[in-house]
């Protein structure tokens, strides 16, 4: 049995979509138990009794715009996210899933669950969309603005285990996000990281990847520091959003076109939109902690949150943390 | 009369599209003379006599994939790009336009034309597309991977003059590309640059801009180091390309849909594609040199190259370099 702690009050659509996602997951998976932390009164309209669901009441939670997570950890100890996290720390649950504010989740994970001793930094690692069915892991997507090559190596090892266990890719290719494909391109960090990754047997280094290929590269893992990868992620988001607007305007600027769109193209346009919809993808891991922490997208609907739960469950089942620990220990011995 | 030196052999579609772009520009602008450097035999099929066009023959030119511009400058002195550039240095022409390899153009500009004494670095500054008619300047798009806040300030001043002179924006807003909008976000570089720009009267500082808004921000100028801005530019390119593919696939996967697209939507889809088509935009400036250098897109067609020529002509007419020199001298006095 896998037991997950869920923050019932995190996310723009909490608690309704969170509760619905939880019930969906319990239906789908027989080997899943959920501890749900949140305001019982607010969750009640959407809740059903379930023998593998336990609700733990708290009327405290974090605001989605929370800017001072450290202060909150001190003043707002009983917030749903923090209670769920402590349950994991105290081994009452195997992993936590929250759609709450990212920085709060990263900070609280650091302070409550703590880093694996073998990982020198913690990374945000979302699975990013693609134009085929191929999924890719992009990290660090925003936890650390300053990183060293050794940190990126840790991330590469972690993400390789996840790609193998969760995405079922036999020998996942690790690409370094860079401004050119040749070795020697980029900043000092990129040149040194290229060198280090080339000489590490634990991963399958693919080389530099230009962001022109960010949605259709052969690499399964895209690696950079938390500033650069965050810039790339937000640029994808912005470009997709803006092109969607152009397209919508172009396709609906006459009654006749509207009719055609309505009759024939609705499905096509939906597929286009879904390509970059975070709800289709699931959550981001906070990689490098002593337990699995999954951050579901802030705008998660029930299905997206269910995907986040599924992801946390699969990461626990695959013993990702155990496998990473072994690989990094081995790596330290050979260095 | 404005006199431009043009590299007739640079770009994927040289010399045909370059020569055609040159003739188009000469037709449009009465006050324009062009010195065209390139292989007379290869250009002949597309050339016409024109009293304001002078062709200077050379059978040497650079390969578009050129990786060793410094070596080329030594061994291949008479390459069309270098000859055109020397004409500018020797005051035979006011500015140069080339669609040749970017790094070669940047390196040759540095070594032949040289930096303005007031600018501490040289930046690549393309005008980027937008979903409205608003144009934006993104710099540095790839000349320098490591920059200091003072370099970014120089770039902000330069781009502000260009936005005023070329894009006719009265009081252009300078945005700092960053992972969050609040002051204090980003790397040490970004925090310090935010501080410096906030305290500089010569520019209108708008604050941080997240790349989620890269195509519809209120800022007229988007500023970052050459690594980050290049990553953002290539991510836009990659996302647009991939979404275009998805859309095409979705819209043409049945005969009936193909018919509809053919009959009614061709124009809409063309508008969508043009939104991010570099041919619609014109060239990138190499900002910070003693003369105007415009890099037309490598894949320029005649119309795109004509746009690059127009841009160079307008930058000369507006005396951008004179204005930037004055502003930076004033700024140095007040610092």
Which residues have a Cβ under 8 Å from the Cβ of B71 and sit 6 or more positions away? none
Is pLDDT above 90 for B283?
Answer: no
- Tell me, yes or no, whether A40 lies in a domain: yes
Alpha helices, DSSP H only, in A170-276? 188-198, 226-251, 255-260, 266-275
Would you give the DSSP letter of residue B46?
Answer: G
- Tell me, yes or no, whether B324 lies in a domain: no
Q: Please check whether residues A257 and A183 belong to one and the same domain.
A: yes
Query: How many domains is chain A partitioned into structurally?
Result: 2
- Sheet strand arrangement including B292-295: B53-57, B32-38, B2-7, B95-98, B292-295, B284-287, B123-128, B136-139, B221-223, B173-177, B204-209
* Pick from A232, A236, A221, A229: nearest CA to A141: A229
Q: Which residues pair with A7 in a beta bridge?
A: A37
Q: Does A179 touch chain B (CB under 8 A)?
A: yes
Specify whether the CB–CB gap between B324 and B140 falls below 8 A. Answer: no
- Show the tokens assigned to A283: 């959550």
Q: Which of B179, B235, B272 sits opposite A250 (nearest CB)?
A: B272
Q: Which domain covers residue B34, as residue numbers?
A: 1-119+288-317
pLDDT at A104: 95
Specify whether the CB–CB gap between B151 and B120 falls below 8 A. Answer: yes
Mean pLDDT value of segment A178-206:
95
- Show the tokens assigned to B182: 């609040």
Q: Please check whether residues B150 and B71 belong to one and the same domain.
A: no
pLDDT at A255: 65
Q: Percentage of chain A with pLDDT > 70? A: 89
pLDDT in tens, B137-190: 999 998 899 999 999 999 999 999 999 999 999 999 999 999 999 999 999 999
Interatomic CA distance for residues A314 and A99, integer angstroms: 18
Is pLDDT above 70 for A266?
Answer: no
pLDDT in tens, A19-37: 999 999 999 999 999 999 9
pLDDT in tens, B62-93: 998 888 999 999 999 999 999 999 999 999 99
Residue B140: is the preceding peptide bond cis (ω within 30°)? Answer: yes
- Tell me, yes or no, whether A305 lies in a domain: yes
Q: Please check whether residues B197 and B216 belong to one and the same domain.
A: yes
ipTM score = 0.89
Mean pLDDT value of segment A137-166:
94
Contact at CB, B242 and A210, closer than 8 angstroms: no
- Tell me, yes or no, whether B313 lies in a domain: yes
Q: Residue B226 — pLDDT band, cuts 50, 70, 90?
A: very high
> How many CB pairs below 8 Å do chains A and B form together?
162
Mean pLDDT value of segment B258-285:
65
Specify whether the CB–CB gap between B10 and B29 falls below 8 A. Answer: no
Nearest chain A CA: its distance from B194 CA (Å):
16
Query: What residues 226-245 of chain B have any CB closer than 8 A to a CB of chain A?
Result: 226-228, 230-232, 234-243, 245
Q: Which of A227, A234, A253 sits opposite B210 (nearest CB)?
A: A234
Which residues have a Cβ under 8 Å from the Cβ of B53 and sit 6 or more positions away? B22, B23, B26, B33, B34, B36
Nearest chain B CA: its distance from A187 CA (Å):
6
Interatomic CA distance for residues A3 and A312, integer angstroms: 10
Is pLDDT above 80 for B224?
Answer: yes
pLDDT in tens, A60-92: 999 998 889 999 999 999 999 999 999 999 999
pLDDT in tens, A159-185: 999 999 999 999 999 999 999 999 999
Contact at CB, A235 and B240, closer than 8 angstroms: no
Query: What residues 252-311 of chain A have any CB closer than 8 A to a CB of chain B?
Result: 253, 256-257, 260, 264-265, 268-269, 271-272, 275-276
- Tell me, yes or no, whether A35 lies in a domain: yes
Mean pLDDT value of segment A97-120:
95
Is pLDDT above 90 for B222?
Answer: yes
- Name the phi and psi angles at A157, rounded to 5: -65, -45
- Show the tokens assigned to A122: 């913690």
Residues of B in contact with A251 (CB under 8 A): 265, 268
Residues of A in contact with B256 (CB under 8 A): 264
Q: Please check whether residues A33 and A138 belong to one and the same domain.
A: no
Would you give the DSSP letter of residue A299?
Answer: T
Residue A140: is the preceding peptide bond cis (ω within 30°)? Answer: yes
- Name the phi and psi angles at B209, rounded to 5: -125, 125
Q: Residue A269 — pLDDT band, cuts 50, 70, 90?
A: low
Strand B204-209 versus strand B173-177 pairing type: parallel
pLDDT at B278: 55
Q: Percentage of chain B with pLDDT > 90? A: 76
Which residues have a Cβ under 8 Å from the Cβ of A259 and sit 6 or more positions away? none
Q: What is the CATH number of the domain that holds B179?
A: 3.40.718.10
Alpha helices, DSSP H only, in A12-167? 16-28, 40-43, 69-75, 80-89, 102-108, 149-165
Residues of B in contact with A146 (CB under 8 A): 187-188
Helix (H), strand (E), coil (C) string for B82-121: HHHHHHHHCCCCCEEEECCCHHHHHHHHHHHHCECCCCCC
- Tell me, yes or no, whether A140 lies in a domain: yes
Nearest chain B CA: its distance from A176 CA (Å):
12
Q: Please check whether residues B134 and B248 belong to one and the same domain.
A: yes
- Sheet strand arrangement including A95-98: A53-57, A32-38, A2-7, A95-98, A292-295, A284-287, A123-128, A136-139, A221-223, A173-177, A204-209
Q: Please check whether residues A41 and A17 belong to one and the same domain.
A: yes
Q: Please check whether residues B113 and B54 belong to one and the same domain.
A: yes
pLDDT at B299: 87
Residue of A nearest to B141 (CA): A179
pLDDT in tens, A278-290: 555 668 999 999 9
Is pLDDT above 90 for A333?
Answer: no
A56 vs A278 pLDDT, higher one: A56
Q: Please check whether residues A303 and A192 belong to one and the same domain.
A: no
pLDDT at B256: 63
Is pLDDT above 90 for A258?
Answer: no
Is pLDDT above 60 for A326?
Answer: yes
Specify whether the CB–CB gap between A120 and A154 falls below 8 A. Answer: yes
Contact at CB, A239 and B265, closer than 8 angstroms: no
User: What is the SS3 assignment for A59?
Assistant: coil
Mean pLDDT value of segment A151-159:
96
Interatomic CA distance for residues A220 and A159, integer angstroms: 9
Contact at CB, A269 and B275, closer than 8 angstroms: no
- Name the phi and psi angles at B171, rounded to 5: -135, 70
Where among B280, B296, B330 does a domain terminate?
A: B280
- Residue of A217, A219, A239, A272 to mutate when probing chain B, most B C-beta within 10 A: A239
- Tell me, yes or no, whether B225 lies in a domain: yes
Query: What residues 7-66 of chain B have any CB closer than 8 A to a CB of chain A?
Result: none
Mean pLDDT value of segment A197-202:
94
pLDDT at A142: 87
User: What is the SS3 assignment for A84?
Assistant: helix
Specify whether the CB–CB gap between B260 and A260 falls below 8 A. Answer: yes
- Tell me, yes or no, whether B331 lies in a domain: no
Mean pLDDT value of segment A133-162:
93
Q: Please check whether residues A2 and A114 belong to one and the same domain.
A: yes
Would you give the DSSP letter of residue A113?
Answer: I
Q: Which of A142, A146, A256 sits opposite B187 (nearest CB)?
A: A146
Q: Please check whether residues A55 and A137 belong to one and the same domain.
A: no
Is pLDDT above 80 for B130?
Answer: no
- Show the tokens assigned to A154: 């840790």
Q: Percentage of chain B with pLDDT > 70? A: 89
Contact at CB, A227 and B228, closer than 8 angstroms: yes
Mean pLDDT value of segment B19-37:
98
Q: Please check whether residues A159 and A264 belong to one and the same domain.
A: yes
Q: Please check whether residues B160 and B215 belong to one and the same domain.
A: yes
pLDDT in tens, A297-315: 888 999 999 999 999 999 9
pLDDT at A38: 98
Q: Does B129 touch chain A (CB under 8 A)?
A: no
Which residues have a Cβ under 8 Å from the Cβ of A166 and sit 6 or more positions away? A311, A314, A315, A318, A320
């Amino acid at each position: 049995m896998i037991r997950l702690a869920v923050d019932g009050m995190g996310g723009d659509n909490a608690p309704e979509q969170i509760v619905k996602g939880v019930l969906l997951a319990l239906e789908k998976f027989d080997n899943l138990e959920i501890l749900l932390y949140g305001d019982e009164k607010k969750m009640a309209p959407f809740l059903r009794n379930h023998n593998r669901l336990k609700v733990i009441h708290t009327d405290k939670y974090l605001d989605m715009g929370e800017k001072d997570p450290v202060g909150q950890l001190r003043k707002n100890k009983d917030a749903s996210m923090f209670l769920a996290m402590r349950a994991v720390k105290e081994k009452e649950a195997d992993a936590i899933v929250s759609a709450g504010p990212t920085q709060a989740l990263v900070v609280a994970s650091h302070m409550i669950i703590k880093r694996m001793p073998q990982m020198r930094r913690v990374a945000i690692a979302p699975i990013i969309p693609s134009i085929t069915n191929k999924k890719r892991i992009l990290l660090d997507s925003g936890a650390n603005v300053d990183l060293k090559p050794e940190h990126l190596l840790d991330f590469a090892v972690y993400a390789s285990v996840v790609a193998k266990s969760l995405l079922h890719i036999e020998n996942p290719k690790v690409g370094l996000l860079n401004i050119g494909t040749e070795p020697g391109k980029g900043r000092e960090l990129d040149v040194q990281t290229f060198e280090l990754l080339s000489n590490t047997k634990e991963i399958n280094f693919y080389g530099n990847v230009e962001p022109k290929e960010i949605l259709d590269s052969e690499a399964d893992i895209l690696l950079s520091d938390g500033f650069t990868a965050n810039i790339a992620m937000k640029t994808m988001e912005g470009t997709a959003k803006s092109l969607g607007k152009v397209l919508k305007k172009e396709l609906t600027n006459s009654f006749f076109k509207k009719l055609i769109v309505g009759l024939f193209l609705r499905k096509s346009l939906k597929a286009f939109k879904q390509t970059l919809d975070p709800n289709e993808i699931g959550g981001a891991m906070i990689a490098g902690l002593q337990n699995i922490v999954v951050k579901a997208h802030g705008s998660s609907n029930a299905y997206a949150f269910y995907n986040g739960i599924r992801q946390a469950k699969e990461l626990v089942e695959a013993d990702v943390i155990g496998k990473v620990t072994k690989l990094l220990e081995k790596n330290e011995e050979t260095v």
